[in-house]
Structure 1
Amino acid sequence: MAVPKRKTSKARRDRRRTAKSRLTVPNTIECPQCHEPKLPHRVCGACGFYNGKEVMSVE
């Protein structure tokens, strides 16, 4: 079995671990009806419109 020749430093170890755990901010677009931010390809939660049509009623 392979054995490391040198100890991995804490800085190198932590840099490798944080690269995987970075979170990305979800991309948002402006709703053409109410101009609220919404996720693309999803119904707007503020007005209920999708692709120019009212899909659900919002109270």
Structure 2
Amino acid sequence: MAVPKRKTSKAKKNARQTHKKLSSTVSYDSVLGVYKRSHYVSSDGYYKGRKVI
């Protein structure tokens, strides 16, 4: 069984995990006049400018 010889430093660990983050994709919806997350239905039930719910 492989066992690490030394403790991994915080800098080394954080450098390895930089791609593990949430990307905030926020776009402006001109129909509703508000900012919303991309590819999500708004609270009013609109998606791509159409009422879906």
Report the RMSD for the aligned CA atoms in angstroms. 2.9
Equivalent pairs counted in the alignment come to 50
- Higher Rg: 1
The structure where strand makes up a greater share of residues is: 2
The aligned counterpart of 1:17 is: 13
The structure where helix makes up a greater share of residues is: 1
Structure 1: give runs of 5+ residues left out of the alignment.
Answer: none
Tell me which of 33, 36, 40 is aligned to 2:34. 36
The sequence identity of aligned pairs, in percent, is: 16
Q: What's the TM-score once normalised by structure 1's chain length?
A: 0.54
Q: What's the TM-score once normalised by structure 2's chain length?
A: 0.57
Structure 2: give runs of 5+ residues left out of the alignment.
Answer: none
